[in-house]
A and B are shown apart, each in its own frame.
Chain A
């Protein structure tokens, strides 16, 4: 692998992604998009929670749900951010074929295109967490946070999400335009299977294995534990694992997903070239 090729693919794609993402004529609207939208979705969850539990904000279940939902923002942002570039370039800008024949590393290009959504997602997560601490009594104490665990988990987790994004991007190369929501759709489906807003025990037994196979499940648990240690008890099954064990599982699954993403890309790339899909534009 040519290092400077991967570097320039990633950095220029990051630049391009930022230009595309921040292309709001009105900075105020951009701020609304970055701040109000995540707050609104968190608010819906809080209202639902208070109706169902009668306002039991002091139960450990509340921070469990609140943090799970907050960090789940990254799932949609990173997966959709990485895979959306394929559709955007092919259908909208009609540049996919020119990117494809350029001397760049396509997976690193896609990863770069996802960076801006990751950054915007980070702002959203910070906004949601701040609102939670200020207005909803989420017991987040910055002096009690296990920062080491937090950052290590965050880095591995985001890498894992990026690998899932690559898998989606590769599949997107093969499918038609009407799958344009594939990133959001997959993120939405996994929301229920990854212990974001309720422990997997709530699911019917035959659906639980999906959740246990998903690295997102372990990652969210690690994020919660690093920020608020005792929330872990709200997730009975994972409670028996130590932080280090969870980290090991997350790392292992991330490696698995990375390997799968490499092979998925190779296969989809090969097939797309055979079928002539690189520059196909759907006629809608």
Chain B
């Protein structure tokens, strides 16, 4: 048996989209994943980081046997997801955040117990584990509540418990903290850590578009945009490449028509991004060297833009993303929003 928990080779997925009634003949193709080649070792907490529409969910669906790839192959827990889905399924589990699935007419305990039975767990052991896990996420007082009476956040916690309940070899969490409040998200991250610590052969793949979550939680992170994996390494290594560079945040008065492109035209400015803030703008700059700051300030002065605050900071995964894609992640999402399905 291979020591990889997940292995993919040139995995691609194309969605064929039928036009609406008027344009029935027009068939568009959308490349959701393109030649994704990844390996995840047993015991790893692996993160897929990317904006909405990057293809994260599509990849998870393929790995969990819900969706067939258009080309390429993938193995999970040592078995090919297309050839042997029946050998993959007993070894995995999956939870997607941001949706409230479950049988509303069953209690929290019944919902969880039923799934444990579908996985063939001994009933008594399952009930003990349900109580244990509910305690860990602070849901034990709701064990006998009908799940339809839970708030969406608590329902999501219940579903996350469902994923851990069956002790899979590989657990997939698709945006587990999406829509959760700060406290609930912390509970979930705590659960993730302690589950992985309890058994070093357990593997967890999660997707997120929260940079901080990927940074603090994951052993390794793959940055994914428009269906392609742009980089894959530990958060520290990903940031290391930027360490030589100087990263500045400048808060200014209104920009008077100055664009990030204009700044990026400067040879020493590697990347520039702009956020509007009250009464002005915030520029985030990745400079090849600190000395380049002078020319940036020069341009600002020429355009009559005042500098209100200037900070230098250590690189974050956000900067790594900007460096790879040329845009901040939230700007990519704003652009995608009108087309996203």
Contacts and interface: CB of A to CB of B under 8 A. Distances in A.
**Secondary structure dominating the interface of A:** helix
A103 B65 CA distance: 11
A97 interface: yes
A282 interface: no
Interface string A50-89: 0000000000000000000000000000000000000000
A99 B94 contact: no
A132 B222 CA distance: 70
Contact of B61 (A9, A23, A98, A279): A279
Interface string A125-165: 00000000000000000000000000000000000000000
Nearest to A103: B90
Given A5-B120, A276-B67, A98 B105 contact: no
A23 B105 contact: yes
Interface string B5-45: 00000000001000000000000000000000000000000
B94 A8 contact: no
Interface string B93-116: 110000111111110001000110
A94 B158 CA distance: 14
Contact of B114 (A4, A15, A103): A15
Contact of A8 (B92, B106, B118): B118
B119 interface: yes
Contacts, number: 70
Contacts of A23: 105
B214 to A, nearest CB: 24
B83 interface: no
A5 B92 CA distance: 16
B162 A98 contact: yes
Contacts of A273: 65-68
Given A16-B114, A273-B66, A103 B106 contact: no
B163 to A, nearest CB: 9
Q: Which of B66, B93, B99, B119 has the most CB of A within 10 A?
A: B66
Interface residues of A, number: 26
A19 B66 contact: no
A101 B65 contact: yes
B316 interface: no
Contacts of B105: 19-20, 23
A102 B89 contact: yes
A102 B102 contact: no
B66 A279 contact: yes
Interface residues of B, number: 29
Contacts of B259: none
B104 A12 contact: no
B119 A16 contact: no
Interface string A243-284: 000000000000000000000000000000110101100000
Contact of B101 (A16, A19, A94, A103): A94
A238 interface: no
B63 to A, nearest CB: 10
Contact of B15 (A19, A94, A104, A276): A276
B46 to A, nearest CB: 19
Contacts of A99: 118
A276 B101 CA distance: 18
A100 interface: yes
Nearest to A276: B67
Contacts of B117: 8, 12
Given A93-B104, A94-B99, A103 B66 contact: no
Nearest to A283: B341
Contacts of A15: 114
Nearest to B94: A101
A20 B89 CA distance: 26
Nearest to B147: A93
B203 interface: no
Contacts of B102: 93-95
B103 A103 contact: no
A214 to B, nearest CB: 34
B208 interface: no
Contacts of A94: 99-102
B296 to A, nearest CB: 46
B295 interface: no
13 contacts: A5-B120, A16-B114, A94-B100, A95-B101, A95-B103, A97-B94, A100-B66, A101-B64, A101-B65, A103-B86, A103-B90, A273-B66, A276-B66
Given A99-B118, A103-B119, A279-B66, 9 more contacts: A12-B118, A15-B114, A23-B105, A93-B102, A98-B115, A101-B89, A101-B92, A276-B15, A276-B66
Nearest 6 A/B pairs, CB to CB: A94-B101, A103-B90, A23-B105, A103-B89, A274-B68, A102-B118
